[in-house]
């Protein structure tokens, strides 16, 4: 399951990076500005999934029992 998840996230982020690079190429901006945007997008692609994973793990451990109880009642 983990390998499938990693592959799915990799494909999604790769398509997003490709669309950003395509847009940058069509805009015809300067190389320095393009490099700045590429670094920014790359940092977000690396750190946002990791932050989401850590926050989700913490919230899951915090609210896991409550949610299980609500699911049982419903």
pLDDT tens digit sequence for 20-56? 878 888 888 888 888 888 888 888 888 888 898 899 8
Average model confidence (pLDDT) across the chain:
83
As a whole number of angstroms, the distance between CA 5 and CA 16 comes to 17
pTM to 2 decimal places: 0.58
Q: 1 pLDDT band (50/70/90 cuts)? A: low
Tell me the C-alpha to C-alpha distance, in Å, between residue 45 and each of 4, 11, 12, 49, 67: 18, 12, 10, 7, 30
As a whole number of angstroms, the distance between CA 65 and CA 50 comes to 24
What is the per-residue pLDDT for 55?
A: 92
Domain that holds residue 27: 2-73
The number of folded domains in the chain is 1
- The vertex-11 CA angle with 8 and 14, nearest 5°, equals 145
The encoded tokens of residue 26 equal: 């069509």
């Amino acid at each position: 399951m983990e390998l499938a998840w990693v592959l799915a996230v990799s494909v999604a982020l790769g398509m997003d990076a490709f669309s950003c690079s395509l847009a940058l190429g069509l805009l015809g901006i300067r190389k320095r500005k393009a490099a700045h945007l590429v670094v920014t997008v790359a940092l977000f692609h690396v750190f946002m999934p990791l932050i989401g994973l850590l926050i989700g793990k913490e919230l899951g451990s915090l609210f896991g029992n409550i949610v299980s109880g609500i699911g049982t009642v419903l």
